Structure 1
Amino acid sequence: MLLTSFQEDLIFGDKIKTKVILETSFSKEIRILLKAGQVMKQHQTKFPIVVHLLKGEIDFGVENTVHRIKEGDVLTLDANVPHDLSAIEDSVVRLTLSKSDDVARVEKVIEDSDQ
């Protein structure tokens, strides 16, 4: 058993921050901290994902439609669907990746978004 928290050390910065909170035999649980106004540019993944907004409010763009996601909302997204995120408030996002997906891919999206 491993016990950890998505709520510890919530320090929002000038850049979007990610942290692998938990890795299981079937998934990777990633925390993404977005300060109000920060944006993750459009991207996609080869695997389905689950996005759970633990704190804050974001606009989640999918296929030319923007969905306002509020604290507590959870969504699924199929593989190869372009999407983007814009933080309305300081936000804590839980991203569930397939075990086959690569955390470095997420970090690259964030790096590209910060430029």
Structure 2
Amino acid sequence: MKTASLSKNVEYHESRPTLQVLLESETGKEIRIAFKEGQIMKQHKTPFPIVVEIFEGSIDFGVNGEVHTLNKGDLIALEGNVPHDLTALKDSIVRLSLNSADTVKRVEDVAKNSQR
């Protein structure tokens, strides 16, 4: 058994989203992404399906040029190879569920390349 918390020990970076791997299992990875208001993750895509949950706050989630405003409690699922971007409308905590074959480094690189 493994446990983790989306709300404890949250750290924010001043210029880019902050990632923390909360859980890893044989089937997937659960990642917390902490955004300060106005921070972005530039357009990117993953080769595998993902699920994104807005745990706290509000995010503009762009998919193929269309923006969806997601608020606390909202979920969105994407198939692989779908271009998407995120913009925090306020301080936000996002839970990202990755396929086990995907890498955390790929997500970290997107965040690092999205500095403002």
TM-score interval, normalised by the smaller of the two chains: over 0.9
Matched, 1:6 2:6: yes
| Matching of residues 1-115 of structure 1 within 5 Å | 1-14=1-14, 15-114=16-115
**How far off its partner does 1:4 sit?**
1.4
Deviation string 1:34-73 (CA, Å, 9 cap, x unpaired) is 0000010000000000000000000000011000000000
Structure 1 residue runs of 4+, over 6 Å off? none
Contiguous gaps of at least 5 residues in structure 1? none
Contiguous gaps of at least 5 residues in structure 2? none
- For the aligned residue pairs, the C-alpha RMSD in angstroms reads 0.9
Q: How many residues align?
A: 115
- TM-score computed with the length of structure 1 as normaliser: 0.97
- Whether the 8 Å CA contact 1:54–1:93 is kept in 2: the answer is yes
**CA distance in structure 1 between the aligned counterparts of 2:62 and 2:45, rounded to whole angstroms:** 12
Amino acid at match of 1:77: L
Q: Secondary structure at the match of 1:52?
A: strand
- TM-score computed with the length of structure 2 as normaliser: 0.96
Question: Which moved further from structure 2: 41-50 or 9-18?
Answer: 9-18
Percent sequence identity over aligned pairs: 47
